[in-house]
Structure 1
Amino acid sequence: MLSAADNDLLTRTGAGTPMGQFFRRFWQPVALSRELPEPDGAPLRVNIMGERLVAFRNSDGVVGLVDARCPHRGADLYFGRNESCAIRCVFHGWQFDIQGRPVELPNVPPDASYHDTLRLKAYPTREYGEVVWAYMGPEPWGRDLPEVPQLEFGSLPASHRFVTKKLQECNWAQSIEGALDTSHFSFLHMPAPCVRSNENPDAPADEKRLRWIREDPLPEFSILDHEVGFVVGGARRADGGTRYWRSAQFALPSHSTTPSTLPGETHFGYTWVPIDDESCWIYTYAWNPDRPLTDDERAKFSEGHGVIAEVDARFFPIRNRANEYLIDRTHQKHISYTGVRGVAEQDAMIQDSQGRIHDRTQEHLSASDAAVVRFRRTVLAGAKALARGVEPEAPRKHEAYRLRSGSWFASEGVSFDQVMLERFGDAVGHVPAAAREPAPAMK
């Protein structure tokens, strides 16, 4: 369990909080590129870590991210005009460029100091992997900004990836803890005990893997640290005296990858971005480094499949807190363990059920919570160090974010780092240098 003070430190990401300052040292996803499809198009509301912002793609195609409130009298710039490489408030015509500099102040005398001194809060952006990223740290327009983390999905041609997001109605930390907790797979995502996986259309893996996960609900955990986080492995008993290993990555401050992928299969990953302390966006991406995704795969992902939730046009999950995730008790009795359709939706249901902000002072952890404990220690240590004036090193190691995880089989007695070497050619899952060049785009 955590103390009340540490639980508060972990979960609060507003601008004046230690964790909020830590998060702001890293580039954060703020929108999907397709949400801002054209220059001079409609602005987009962006709420992140308690800040109300507006994004707009200017006349040159560059995304601006600025304070939602006009500094004149606080009108909402979401209703503004996106024109002439700047956002214009429709109240009195004040206009600002993507760096927050005034372009035109029609009702201000030409010799007034406002023209030189007034600034609208603005953050620099980059686009990588069909995601708009923003840097919200100190001196955001300085020359020495870190690079966007080079997560592998973004380095590949667009044909090899699918990127989306979904709203999560709870604090960011308990949601990422759910993703790092591989032991819950023995229950939460299982078919009902009386059902074989091939009789359950919602089953998230093949029958053998599901059987091994179900039959061994207490995996043996190993954790290896690396320069931007850690990788966790869970070993379960498999057939023929072998062990079935599942590995998952955590990278600072809030990136993770899923553990099930076998060679040749598609990888999945997430990035959690706090909206406020009681909700977050989960950016979810699927990628295959070896081949383009098929039309059938894209269709499934678009409709919701596995860890990719079914969402509406606003990226709000169809099955959510308000409608009790459309839980079907008959389905729960006869088909699935939860009665809720979809792996992503099952995760959301249980994470939301912990409360808007989980009270970690009341929990009783076990050995299977090793990755959750390491996650907490890692991010708390980073936030506390920054509060003492020690800047995090991970934002400057953008290449180290090219990480993979997934499944493998090994004999008894084989160590986790050896498993990772056999599976990925690297002891902690770095993408081998030979694989870092993007695959050729398919015509």
Structure 2
Amino acid sequence: MLKPEDNERLTRVGAGTPGGDLFRRYWMPALMSSEMPDRDGAPVRVRLLGEDLIAFRDSNNEIGLVAAFCPHRRAPMFFGRNEEAGLRCVYHGWKFNTHGDCVDMPSEPAGSALRDKAKINSYPCIEKGGIIWTYMGPKDKMPAPPDYEWMRAPQTHRHVSKTFEDCNYLQAMEGGLDTAHSSYAHNNNLATKNEPRQRDRSPRLDVERTDYGYRYVSFRDLKDGNYYMRIYHYVMPFQQFRGGIHKFDGSRREFPELNGHIWVPIDDTTTYVYNWACAYDENAAFSEENIIEREYFYGRGPDQLIPGTFKLKANKSNDYFIDRQVQKTKTYTGIEGVNTQDFALQEGMGKIVDRSLEHLGTSDKAIVTMRRLMMEAIADVAEGRDPRGLDPASHGGVRPYDGFMKTSDDWQVVFADEVVAKW
């Protein structure tokens, strides 16, 4: 469990909070490239770490991320004209470039000194892996851009989606880092007893700290001289790498992949989850049918979302369409969609969990370690040190994996080649 004051440090992300100061030291997803595909296209509202912002792609294909309100009279920049390499406020015509400089002020006399003073707050952006990333921290502390392996996969071998989750980022991320719950919440066939996650429902965890966060391994004893292994990575401050190579019968999938999530705080009580997947190698390009199939499996297919949003139709307001008869006879939860099952439990905890009331067990080792790393990182930032995971070299060469091995073997030897990035 956590002391209430430590829970506050970890869950509050606004400007000036300890957690907010930590997040502002990393590059973070602001939106997907597909949300803003066209030069001089419509501006897009963005809320990130409690700040209201506006994103736009200018005439030169540069990305701007600026404050939501004009510094003149606080008019909303969402209604601005995106034209000729800048975003122009439609109230009085003041125009700003992607760096926040005022480049035109037609309502004032020519040569007015006010133009040089009237900057709009802006954050630098880069575009990688189908995502527009931003850095919101001190300029002199800005790290090199991230270089995760999945970013380097060709577009034909990579897929990214995004969903809205109505709770604090930490309980959402803890759900992703928790491997034991898959034996229960994601048991989608009660009749099947031979799946590895059902043959051993209390996996043993090894957690190894690294420069980027940690690597953790779950061992499930199949009682036949073999382990089912899952090798994950937690990359600070908010990302998980996960393997998806083998089927439960031990055979390789037709489209072996790596996948994971990035849990980005919109504010203290809401989160955007970026869901990424990339092919294991060049022989497993993603077809459109494959992408659609996997998104529906998780519960976030196109017609499973509320139109014009990233919100699931199955949500708290309708109890996630739980079917109690299905729960009795077919699946553990009676809820369709792996991510929908997660959301029901994580959102159902409330906006921000009171972790002082918890009773943790051995299967929570990865979550406990993550919390400690985050608390240490918060202290590092407060005391002028760099937190873990800023250097792209620390995370660029690692990959997750799942597979099978004999209980007498050393997993680090068996899977040595598999946990090294190939893209």
Aligned equivalents of 1:307, 1:425: Cα separation in 2 = 33
Conserved? CA contact 2:235–2:395, under 8 Å: no
* 1:388 aligns to 2:380 (yes or no): no
Any gaps of 5 or more consecutive residues in structure 1? 197-206, 437-443
What is the TM-score with the length of structure 1 in the denominator? 0.88
Mapped to 1, the partners of 2:244 and 2:184 lie a distance apart of 15
Partner of residue 414, structure 2 = 422
Q: Which residue of 2 aligns with 1:331?
A: 326
User: Does the CA-based 8 Å contact 2:145-2:392 persist in structure 1?
Assistant: no
Give the secondary-structure state (helix, strand or coil) at the position aligned to 2:317.
Answer: coil
Do the aligned residues in 1 keep the contact of 2:244 with 2:259 (CA within 8 Å)? no
Shift of 1:110: 3.2
| Distance in 2 separating the partners of 1:159 and 1:259 | 19
Task: Tell me, yes or no, if the aligned pair for 2:244 and 2:257 is still in contact at 8 Å.
Answer: no
Does 2:230 match 1:246? yes
Partner of 1:225: 209
Following the alignment from structure 1 to structure 2, what is the Cα–Cα distance between the partners of residues 127 and 247?
28
Deviations 1:72-121 (A, max 9, x none): 11111011110111001111111100000001112223343322222100
Decide whether the 8 Å contact of 1:186 with 1:214 is kept in 2.
yes
Cα distance between partner residues in 2 of 1:133 and 1:173: 20
TM-score when scaled to structure 2? 0.92
Identity, % of aligned positions: 35
Residue in 2 aligned with 1:150? Answer: 147
Q: Describe the SS at the equivalent of 2:379.
A: helix
**Aligned position for 1:9:** 9
Distance in 1 between the 2:36 and 2:124 partners? 16
- Output the CA distance in 2 between the equivalents of 1:320 and 1:362: 25
- 1:180 matched to 2:177: yes
Whether the 8 Å contact between 1:261 and 1:407 is mirrored in structure 2 is: yes
1:268 paired with 2:229, answer no
Quote the residue 1:378 is aligned against. Answer: 373
3-state SS in 1 of match to 2:119: coil
Instruction: State the Cα deviation string for residues 187-230 of structure 1 (Å, max 9, x = none).
Output: 1111354x23xxxxxxxxxx74xx32123221111011221011
Distance across 2 between alignment mates of 1:228 and 1:110? 52
Residues 10, 307 of structure 1: alpha-carbon distance in 2 compared, 3 angstrom cutoff: farther
Mean alpha-carbon deviation: is it higher for 110-119 or for 212-221?
A: 110-119
- Structure 1 residues 9, 30: CA separation in 2 closer, same or farther (over 3 Å shift)? same
Matched, 1:84 2:84: yes
Change beyond 3 A, Cα 1:360–1:342:
same
Q: Is the CA contact 2:211–2:394 (under 8 Å) kept in the aligned structure 1?
A: no
Q: Which of the residues 161, 166, 191 maps onto 2:163?
A: 166
Question: Is the contact between residue 214 and residue 234 of structure 2 (CA under 8 Å) also seen in structure 1?
Answer: yes
Q: Is the 8 A contact 1:156 1:289 kept in 2?
A: no
Distance 2:383 2:403 in 1: 41
Q: Give the CA RMSD over aligned residues.
A: 1.8
> Structure 1: which 4+ aligned runs deviate by more than 6 Å?
none
8 Å contact 1:267–1:286 — kept in the other structure? yes
Q: 2:249 maps to what in 1? A: none
Aligned to 2:353: 358
- Map of 1:347 onto structure 2: 342
Question: In the alignment, residue 293 of structure 1 is paired with which amino acid?
Answer: F
Give the letter aligned to residue 215 of structure 1.
R
- Contact 1:77–1:89 under 8 Å retained in 2: yes
Distance between the aligned counterparts of 1:269 and 1:401, measured in 2?
Answer: 15
- Alignment partner of 2:291: what SS? helix
CA distance in 2: counterparts of 1:252 and 1:430, whole angstroms: 19
Q: State the shift of 1:393 in Å.
A: 4.7
421 and 73 in structure 1: CA distance in 2 versus 1, 3 angstrom threshold: farther
Give me the whole-angstrom Cα distance separating, in 1, the residues matched to 2:53 and 2:402: 40
Contact 1:257/1:404, CA 8 A, preserved across alignment: yes
Which amino acid is 2:219 matched to? Answer: A
Alignment of 1:118-137 (within 5 A): 118-137=118-137
Q: Deviations over 1:208-267 (max 9, x none)?
A: 4xx321232211110112210111111111152111112221001101023543366111
